[in-house]
Structure 1
Amino acid sequence: MPEWRGMTRNTAKTYCINVYESKKKKLKSLLKNVNKISLTRLLEIKEQKIEYMVITGHWIDESWQLQKRVLNFVHIPPPRRGLEIANAIWRCLEDWGIETQDGLSEIKQIVDVIRDSVEYVRQSDARLKIFSEIVKQLNLPEKKLVDDCRTRWNSTYEMLAAAIKFKDVFPRFADRELHYDICPSAEIDKSGKSMLGIRVILDCDAPCFRK
């Protein structure tokens, strides 16, 4: 074919990468005007029997039209635990400049009280011993509290999830620890409802994020 001009593999690779980067730049610019975006994930198995998680963003544009774009293909080897999936989604959103912490800001006061309470217990071996004794008395399967990293929303979820399981321990701990005045029982009750919205992040349904 006279109009056909061949190219090397490296040339083709460079061309594809340039097209991808150009399209990605345009999409990033578009997403800056998106207030909220929801995510879905789909597991695909390719011919090489390699499994990929496809992360797709969905939002309503200024004309009230539903838009969606594939944000990433991520390879997560089995068994693909919830936290591993959450971390993969977090890295994808970070790459696209999508803010994930805003969802927790709505329950910031609740998170702060629970975080302070967890830190108080974990700061002393004596306090941890008292807390563990109460856990044993109540025959709870969980053994320890979980600290969070304030810049990682998934670790904050893990902290809240663990605290909920110790809901009945904190009041009893307060009875035995005179200087403990931040018992988070009320906050744990509130966070249980609020975390229904956060839990979908780890369960990978269709979480909603804010830009």
Structure 2
Amino acid sequence: MGVTAHYIDECWRLKKLIIGFKHVSDHKGQTISRVLLDVLADWRIEKIFCVTVDNATANSFALRRFHGQFSLVSDDALVLDGEWLHMRCSAHIINLIVKDGLTDANESVDAVRNDVVYVRGSGNRLISFEQKVESGRMTRGSLPLDVTTRWNSTYLMLSTGLKFRVAFDKMETEDKLYNDYFMEVGDKGKKRVRPPQYADWKAIERLGRFLVIFYNSTLVVSASTSLNAHKCYEEIVNIATNLLALSESTDHELKDKAEEMFKKFDKYWDGLKNINKMLIVATVFDPTKKMVLASLCFDELYGKDSLEGKAMYDSVMSVLRSLFKEYGARYGKEAGGKSDEAKTNNSGSTPCSRELSMIGTDLHDDGLGYKRIGRRYKEMPNEIGVKDNRDELDIYLKEGVENPDMMAGVEYDVLSF
């Protein structure tokens, strides 16, 4: 069992460490929980926000046991008493759905795969069967061969193969060696699947409508060295809404498959209404989105001004309030935490250097009772709390979202904010 820790260091940079690679004697929840507890004890880790695991039943049982035992480590071992401790792995859920879809279209996928294998192995023999495409002429390098254990590579193979469909059809009618190739026995002692027919290409087109949804999302949620927690809920909603849209298709096969996939997707998340709220909280703490994107997601899923959407909104706000209250109790000034000003003064420098105005630095003070209003006012905020009556969470949510003008390909740095 591999155990990877993600955390944010004192300089607000995302860090990732593999802290355990342990032999697990069996797949029982009790064993998994014990190994995880041992790894954390080895590293003297006494605080956990979430634990992300795949959807195996044993993992759910393991985290229930882990929750009860780890909560005894310290008073603040878990956040909100571990109510949101169990995080389901987005990438794993996507993988489960896609594998089901690929299995259903297995024969058609094999037919196209054999086409690609033939093209890649035949060099320039295909010069007479060229087909103009956006990227240029068909060559060996134009058609990527998939890695059977990586479904995203299968999607790339199929989507590229579709561009050359006309050329493949032409090869079947004009190239004897191409047809002879499909009569040969394959690597596993079985005759190769026939060249792709009309029904196969239609099946691949339908499959592509699904795979593009999951492909784009998996690029986001599979990131392991860059920050992506604040992007996951948006991708979950992207998948759900696109599947719901395909469920309205007039193509009955497309419609049935979309409905089936959505049911599985919803089930794997234990129902989108019951999704781990920390995924939404992470989105809210992206200052370019806040609750605006979350509200849009609720409208897309449940309908504008719907009761379900309002219930989700209120639920997320309740979690935000609870988090703010708990963090305030643990780390606020009343709990002995340093103020931001004190932290800045003690550090000796600030993360971003700024030009300081030098006006007034030559003012005199004779020490004989001379007073200045400005100096007195500077002391007031710390003495009586001269500030906005709203708390920090209110201020953050009610201020406008950040809308930076970023260069193409450059992402907003959430952690630097």
User: Which TM-score tier does this pair reach, normalised by the shorter chain?
Assistant: 0.5 to 0.7
Superposition RMSD in Å: 3.9
Q: CA offsets, 1:164-198, max 9 Å, x none?
A: 11111111122331032343242122210222122
Match of 1:113 in 2: 111
How far has the Cα of 1:32 moved from its partner?
A: 7.3
TM-score of the superposed pair, with normalisation by structure 1:
0.52
Match of 2:196 in 1: 184
Aligned-pair identity (%): 22
Within 5 Å, give how 1:1-211 maps onto structure 2.
14-17=45-48, 20-21=50-51, 24=52, 28-29=56-57, 70-71=87-88, 92-93=91-92, 98=96, 100-131=98-129, 134-135=130-131, 139-142=132-135, 143=137, 144-181=142-179, 182-186=194-198, 187-204=200-217, 205-206=238-239, 208=261
CA distance in 2, matches of 1:197, 1:101: 12
How far has the Cα of 1:162 moved from its partner?
A: 0.6
1:124/1:25 Cα in 2 relative to 1: closer, same or farther (>3 Å)? Answer: closer
How far has the Cα of 1:126 moved from its partner?
A: 3.4
Query: Residue 167 of structure 1 contacts residue 185 of structure 1 at CA under 8 Å; is this kept in 2?
Result: no
Larger strand proportion of the pair: 1
Larger helix proportion of the pair: 2
Query: Residue 144 of structure 2 contacts residue 157 of structure 2 at CA under 8 Å; is this kept in 1?
Result: yes
Query: Residue 98 of structure 2 contacts residue 211 of structure 2 at CA under 8 Å; is this kept in 1?
Result: no
Query: Residue 118 of structure 1 contacts residue 145 of structure 1 at CA under 8 Å; is this kept in 2?
Result: yes
Query: Residue 53 of structure 2 contacts residue 59 of structure 2 at CA under 8 Å; is this kept in 1?
Result: no
CA distance in 2, matches of 1:141, 1:25: 41
CA distance in 2, matches of 1:121, 1:27: 39
Whichever of the two has the greater Rg, that structure is: 2
CA distance in 2, matches of 1:158, 1:26: 25
CA distance in 1, matches of 2:54, 2:120: 47
Moved more, 109-118 or 168-177: 168-177
How far has the Cα of 1:129 moved from its partner?
A: 3.4
Secondary structure, aligned partner of 1:148: coil
Q: What amino acid maps onto 2:104 in structure 1?
A: E
How far has the Cα of 1:140 moved from its partner?
A: 2.3
Secondary structure, aligned partner of 1:156: helix
Query: Residue 122 of structure 1 contacts residue 128 of structure 1 at CA under 8 Å; is this kept in 2?
Result: no
Query: Residue 170 of structure 1 contacts residue 185 of structure 1 at CA under 8 Å; is this kept in 2?
Result: no
Q: What amino acid maps onto 1:199 in structure 2?
A: V
How far has the Cα of 1:30 moved from its partner?
A: 6.6
Name segments (4+ residues, structure 1) moved above 6 Å. Answer: 9-13, 30-33
Query: Residue 146 of structure 2 contacts residue 154 of structure 2 at CA under 8 Å; is this kept in 1?
Result: yes
CA distance in 2, matches of 1:26, 1:146: 30
How far has the Cα of 1:120 moved from its partner?
A: 1.1
1:26/1:98 Cα in 2 relative to 1: closer, same or farther (>3 Å)? Answer: closer
How far has the Cα of 1:119 moved from its partner?
A: 0.5
TM-score of the superposed pair, with normalisation by structure 2:
0.29
Q: CA offsets, 1:56-78, max 9 Å, x none?
A: xxxxxxxxxxxxx7546xxxxxx
Secondary structure, aligned partner of 2:239: coil
CA distance in 1, matches of 2:104, 2:150: 16
Q: CA offsets, 1:14-72, max 9 Å, x none?
A: 0124x745xx5697537779xxxxxxxxxxxxxxxxxxxxxxxxxxxxxxxxxxx7546
Unaligned runs of 5+ in 1: 1-8, 34-68, 73-88
Q: What amino acid maps onto 1:164 in structure 2?
A: L
1:183/1:106 Cα in 2 relative to 1: closer, same or farther (>3 Å)? Answer: same
CA distance in 2, matches of 1:152, 1:183: 23
**Which protein, 1 or 2, shows the higher relative CO under an 8 Å CA cutoff with sep ≥ 6?**
1
Q: What amino acid maps onto 1:156 in structure 2?
A: T
